Amino acid sequence: MNKRMLFYPLIIGFFGCLIWFIINKGSHLTTDGSTPASTVAAAAAPASAHTTSTTSTAESVWNSMVQNVHHPLALLLLQIILILITARIFGWLANKIGQPSVVGEIVAGICLGPSLLGTLWPSGSAFIFPAEGFKNLQFLSQIGLAFFMFVVGMELDTDKMKNKAHDAVMISHASIVFPFFLGVGLAYHMYARFAPANVSFLSFALFMGIAMSITAFPVLARIVQERKLSSTPLGLLAITCAAADDVTAWCILAVVIAIVKAVTLWTAVLTLVLSLIFVGFMLYILKPWLAKKITRFQEQHKEKSIVALAFMTLLFSAWAAEVIGIHALFGAFLAGVIMPSEVSVQKLLTDKLEDVSVLLLLPIFFVFTGLRTQIGLLGQGNLWAVFGLIMLVAVGGKLGGSALTAKLMGQSWMDSLGIGALMNTRGLMELVVLNIGYDLGILSPEVFAMLVLMALATTFMTGPLLDVVKKVEESRLQASQIG
C-alpha cells in the first residue's frame, strides 16, 4: 500500500517535470520569421507593467468577469435561470389562488418584460434581456412549443371524439364561427388605426378572427382533471369539444398563414394544395407505417428505437410544414396526432418530452411573449376602451356561442354555461397564435399587448365562472329538494 502511495506522486512529478522542460524549451522557439513569444509579450506590455498596483489587477479581473457575463452563452444561461425561478414562483402563487400554473407563468413573463422590470429597472432589464439576445430565446421557445404541440396532438382521444362527434362538432364549430365573425367585424373598426403599414385588411381580419376563436385544449384538459370532471358528461363533452376546436382552429390557422404569406393568389393556391397533400401523406401513408414499425419495436423491446423514430417524425413533419408555409408548429401537432394510440407508447414519449418542454422550455416562451408585451403602450384611456371591446367580443363570442349551441343541442343551462366557460379558456394556444401574427408583422405592438391581456383574462376567469355555475346549480338543487 505504501509503495502504491509513493508510485503516484513519482509518476505525476516525473511527467510534470517533462512537461515543464518542453514548455521552457518551446518558449524560445519562433514562428516563421517572427520574434519569440516572450518578446511579443514584453513589447505588448507597457513599461509600467512591472509596477502594476493591486487595484488595477482587481479592475482587470472585474472587467474580465463582466466580459464573461456578457458572453452569449453565459447570458443565455442567466436568462434561463431567472426565467425558471420566476415562472415557478408565479406558477405556485397561481395554484394557491385556484388558477392553473399557466396563468402564473404568463404573468411572470409580463413582469420580466418592459411592462414591469423594464419600467422599474431599465438598466437591469437591458442588461439581462438585450434586444440582440431575443433570437436565442425565440429559437429555444419554438423548440419547446414544437415538443409541446407534439404532446398535445398525442393527447387527442379520437375514440371519444367519435363517440360524441355530433354534439361536439356542432358546439365546437359554432364556438369558432361565431367569434370568428365577431373578430372580423372588430377588425373592420380597428384596421385603419391599429393595423401596421403594408398589412392588408384580409390578413388583419383573418388573424383577429382566429385570435377570437381559439380554445386552449391543454389548459382546459388540466382544469377538467383538477376539478375531477373527467368522468362526468360535462367534462367529457367539454374535452371533446376543445379537441375538435383545436383541430379545426389549427387547420384554419394553417390556411390563414398560407394566405398571409402568399405573394399572389396562385401562390396561396399552391400552398393549400401542398398542405392537403402533406396532411394526406401523414394520415394515410405515414400513420399506418408508423403503427406497424412501432409495434415491431415494441415486440423487440427497443424503446430507444421507438423514441428515435418518433423524434424523427416530429422533426420531419415540423420541417415540411415550415417549408410548405403553414408553420412548423402545425407539423409538430400533426406528428402527435398520427402517433399510435397505445397507452404504453404515448406514456413512453410523453415521459421523454413533457417535463423538458413544460418545465424548461415553455416558461421561456411565456417570458419571450412577456418581453414583447408592452402594457405601457395602452396608457391612453381610449386604448383601454378598445381593450374592453376586445374582451366583450372575445367572451361574448366564445362563451356565448358555445353555451347557446350546447343548449340547442339539448344540454341543461348549467351544463351549457359550464361548457361555455371552459371553451372560453385561451391560455397557451392563444399566445402561440398571437406570436405567429406578431412575427408575420400583422399585429402591431398595441394590438399584441391587448390580445395578450385578453388571453390572460379569459384564462383567469375560467375557474371563477365554473365556481359560480357550480354554486348556482347546488342552490337550485337545494331549492328543488325543499320544494
Asked if the model's pLDDT at residue 185 lies above 90, the reply is: yes
Which stretch of 353-357, 434-438, 449-453 has the lowest confidence by average pLDDT? Answer: 353-357
Asked if the model's pLDDT at residue 88 lies above 50, the reply is: yes
322 within 8 A of 149, measured Cβ to Cβ: no
The pTM of this model reads: 0.75
Which stretch of 17-31, 248-262, 295-309 has the lowest confidence by average pLDDT? Answer: 248-262
**Mean pLDDT taken over the chain:** 81
**pLDDT at position 309:** 92
**pLDDT at position 43:** 46
295 burial type by CB count under 10 A (0-12 exposed, 13-18 middle, 19+ buried): middle
Provide the pLDDT confidence category of residue 287 given band limits of 50, 70 and 90: very high
Asked if the model's pLDDT at residue 463 lies above 60, the reply is: yes
448 within 8 A of 472, measured Cβ to Cβ: no
**pLDDT at position 180:** 92
Asked if the model's pLDDT at residue 421 lies above 70, the reply is: yes
pLDDT mean over 51-80: 74
How many degrees, rounded to 5, is the angle at CA 466 between CA 465 and CA 472? 90
pLDDT mean over 419-443: 86
Asked if the model's pLDDT at residue 96 lies above 60, the reply is: yes
Which positions ≥6 away from 351 have C-beta within 8 Å?
A: none
**pLDDT at position 157:** 62
Q: HSE-up of 330 (CA within 13 Å, CB side)?
A: 27
Domain boundaries along the sequence of the chain: 158-354+379-468
Architecture of domain 158-354+379-468: Up-down Bundle (1.20)
pLDDT mean over 141-150: 83
**pLDDT at position 160:** 57
**pLDDT at position 228:** 74
188 within 8 A of 154, measured Cβ to Cβ: no
Report the C-alpha gap between 111 and 94 in whole angstroms. 14
**pLDDT at position 395:** 92
Which positions ≥6 away from 414 have C-beta within 8 Å?
A: 469, 472, 473, 476
Residue of 373, 328, 408, 1 lying closest to 139 (CA atoms): 328
| Cell (9 digits) for 44 | 505588448
Residue of 214, 242, 213 lying closest to 230 (CA atoms): 242
Most confident of 18-22, 57-61, 95-99, 388-392: 388-392
